[in-house]
């Protein structure tokens, strides 16, 4: 969706992406060039790294041929390895680079933050998506904060409620740093499924990302559902078809969002949401937009009681129109730069 938005916004600009996985998405505009780094390019990349005196790789060489580099995403800066400085994103032969829509952390060490203070300082623009991340770097004159980019995605053609339908976005707790709540998370989801089923809701268990274990987690949950044949339960595995996935979300009435962007999509589509947070990024973002509904934090055992969750969130909706507009300001500095290049 990030790529889709940026390519449509700047249709006179050519974007180049290197990916180690084949992308099947047909939504992308013609101005997107995808370079698939298969076995041959991977070998070439390793050779470049071995013989280069400047720590070069394919990405860095490509950056030098472009006018600028754009890092657009969400949780791009999670401390997993002290040696992981994301340096490859920012060696562009002195070219400009823009960092959009990100949050910082979770991180454990001061050294990790200090490394990225230097990276961010040299960027043309750093626009965070929540205030807590911005506070860590607000000393930088090039840092800003605006609502998450996906608030600005045009959802109008997807919104069509089909009655009592709840979409559950599911995650694999085992793959997240510091999270070991698989059993309690699965119990929570199963309890919510049982609750919704008891009031005749159709339920769709949705995977946003196979590589991060969503599909595996869904299959694990389904195996534990009692009498599944008597319940209106479907599963949907996203495979790159943005329109198809957004249509399913748009037809729902309620989103049970373990994924950060499941909640954002639900809010933009004017749905009721039940956020299931596994990190501070969801909680911080909802706090920034003054969300007053119930938030389940799976890191807290006290949040595992669902007795009041359904009633509290069934009809609660937050008008996010003003954030839909201000989210466009994530692109403010890039607008100026690319308009100069067009």
pLDDT digits 0-9 by tens, 268-294: 999 999 999 988 999 999 999 999 998
Sorting pLDDT into bands at 50, 70 and 90, what band is 137?
very high
The residues near 266 (Cβ < 8 Å, ≥ 6 apart) are 249, 252, 254, 255, 257, 272, 273
Residue of higher predicted confidence among 54 and 266:
266
Mean per-residue pLDDT for 50-65? Answer: 71
pLDDT of residue 86: 53
How crowded is residue 330: how many other Cβ atoms within 10 Å of its Cβ? 28
pLDDT of residue 171: 95
Mean per-residue pLDDT for 101-118? Answer: 90
pLDDT of residue 206: 98
Q: Is the pLDDT reported for residue 177 higher than 90?
A: no
pLDDT of residue 254: 95
CB of 105 within 8 A of CB of 135?
Answer: no
In angstroms, the CA 19 to CA 278 distance is 27
Rg (CA), the chain: 21
In angstroms, the CA 120 to CA 138 distance is 11
pLDDT of residue 19: 81
Nearest alpha carbon to residue 261 among 102, 103, 151: 151
Number of H helices, E strands in the chain: 13, 12
What would the pLDDT profile of 238-259 be if each residue is shown by its tens digit? 988 899 999 999 999 999 999 9
Q: Which burial class, exposed, middle or buried, applies to 133 when counting CB atoms under 10 A from its CB (0-12, 13-18, 19+)?
A: buried
Sorting pLDDT into bands at 50, 70 and 90, what band is 228?
low
In angstroms, the CA 250 to CA 147 distance is 21
pLDDT of residue 219: 95
């Amino acid at each position: 969706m990030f790529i889709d938005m940026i390519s449509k916004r700047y249709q006179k600009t050519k974007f180049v992406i290197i990916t180690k996985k084949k992308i099947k998405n047909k939504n992308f505009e013609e101005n997107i060039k995808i370079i698939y780094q298969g076995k041959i390019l991977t070998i070439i990349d390793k050779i470049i790294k071995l013989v280069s005196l400047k720590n070069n790789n394919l990405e860095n060489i490509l950056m030098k041929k472009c006018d600028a580099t754009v890092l657009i995403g969400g949780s791009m800066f999670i401390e997993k390895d002290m040696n992981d400085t994301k340096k490859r994103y920012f060696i562009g032969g002195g070219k400009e680079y823009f960092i959009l829509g990100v949050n910082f952390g979770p991180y454990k060490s001061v050294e990790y933050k200090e490394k990225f203070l230097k990276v961010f300082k040299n960027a043309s623009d750093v626009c965070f998506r929540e205030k807590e991340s911005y506070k860590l770097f607000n000393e930088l004159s090039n840092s800003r904060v605006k609502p998450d980019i996906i608030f600005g995605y045009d959802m109008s053609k997807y919104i069509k409620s089909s009655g009592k339908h709840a979409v559950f976005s599911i995650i694999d707790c085992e793959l997240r740093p510091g999270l070991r709540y698989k059993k309690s998370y699965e119990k929570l989801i199963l309890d919510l499924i049982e609750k919704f089923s008891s009031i005749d809701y159709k339920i769709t268990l949705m995977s946003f990302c196979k590589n991060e274990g969503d599909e595996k987690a869904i299959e694990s949950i389904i195996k534990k559902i009692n009498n599944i044949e008597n319940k209106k339960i479907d599963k949907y595995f996203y495979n790159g078809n943005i329109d198809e996935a957004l249509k399913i979300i748009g037809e729902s009435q309620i989103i049970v969002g373990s994924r950060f962007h499941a909640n954002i999509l639900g809010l933009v589509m004017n749905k009721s949401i039940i956020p299931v947070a596994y990190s501070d990024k969801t909680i911080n973002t909802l706090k920034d937009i003054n969300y007053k509904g119930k938030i389940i934090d799976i890191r807290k055992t006290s949040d595992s009681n669902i007795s009041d969750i359904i009633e509290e969130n069934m009809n609660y909706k937050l008008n996010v129109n003003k954030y839909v507009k201000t989210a466009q300001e994530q692109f403010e500095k890039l607008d100026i730069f690319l308009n100069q290049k067009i």
